[in-house]
A = this chain, B = another copy of it.
Amino acid sequence: MPSNEQRPLAVLERKVLAKNDQVAAQNRQFFRENDVVALNLMSAPGSGKTRLLEATLGRLGDRTPLAVLEGDVETANDAERVARTGVPVVQLVTSGACHLEASLVREGLDRLPVPRGGLLFIENVGNLVCPASFDLGETHRIVCVSVTEGDDKPEKYPAMFRKALAMVLTKMDLLPHVDFEVDKAVAQARALNPGVQVFLTSAVTGEGLDAWCDFLLGLNRTGDDAGP
């Protein structure tokens, strides 16, 4: 139950969100004009988004044009990791802010070769709450959950799952060591979002990565089937 103290913040958030939505619409138009599928990757901290991305970029190789925007509160560690794959990457540092905004994505796009006819991965700040409220203009949203986090995450953080095109379960190699029911997590996600696609993956063993990469290569470039 939000307290009274939250009301003024909510009013201002609406203004910020309206301005964000304008820039997001420009980004979305830019992606359509350039035939780019832009994917907003979201998860809790430490869910393995960057590891998944490294493995994905390695497998996609030269099968399609690729580029990456890396969002973090601090440090450029993740962009350095991605750069080693040879894919063009720009680090977006929010300097304390808990989510990416459309304007920062637009600034990043100015510094990145446009992956025409291909895929742009936008790795959001590690946070299962706030990024859900900020449209970046992405074609699709993807949410990652590691099996070490527990199978209750969709129910506890519903906003993040309602608009996701796909839920990627990561770190499946650790499943034997943790108390995580895949069926339970999938049922919770589908209760919020019946059409959500599910991938069971491990960047360590390679499990599920072929199916995940085939899915990425077949995505609808207009996002009309599952836009935010």
Interface residues of A, Cβ cutoff 8 Å to B: 1-6, 8-9, 11-13, 15-16, 19-20, 23, 44-47, 72-75, 77, 93-98, 101, 103-104, 107, 125-130, 145-146, 148-150, 152-153, 155-159, 171, 173-174, 177-178
Are A5 and B16 interface neighbours, CB within 8 A?
yes
Are A148 and B128 interface neighbours, CB within 8 A?
no
CB distance from A126 to the nearest CB of B (A): 7
CB distance from A214 to the nearest CB of B (A): 27
CB distance from A128 to the nearest CB of B (A): 5
In the docked arrangement, what's the CA distance between A77 and B154, Å? 13
In the docked arrangement, what's the CA distance between A25 and B159, Å? 32
In the docked arrangement, what's the CA distance between A19 and B9, Å? 12
Most chain B beta-carbon neighbours within 10 Å: one of A6, A145, A159: A6
Return 7 A-B CB contacts under 8 Å, by A number: A1-B93, A1-B107, A5-B16, A45-B153, A74-B158, A96-B159, A177-B177
Are B5 and A73 interface neighbours, CB within 8 A?
no
Tell me which of B5, B74, B149, B159 contacts A46 (CB under 8 A). B149
Are B98 and A127 interface neighbours, CB within 8 A?
yes
**Chain B residues, CB < 8 A from A44:** 44-46, 126
**Chain B residues, CB < 8 A from A149:** 45-47, 148
**Chain B residues, CB < 8 A from A127:** 98, 127-130
**Chain B residues, CB < 8 A from A150:** 46
In the docked arrangement, what's the CA distance between A158 and B75, Å? 10
**Chain B residues, CB < 8 A from A158:** 73-74
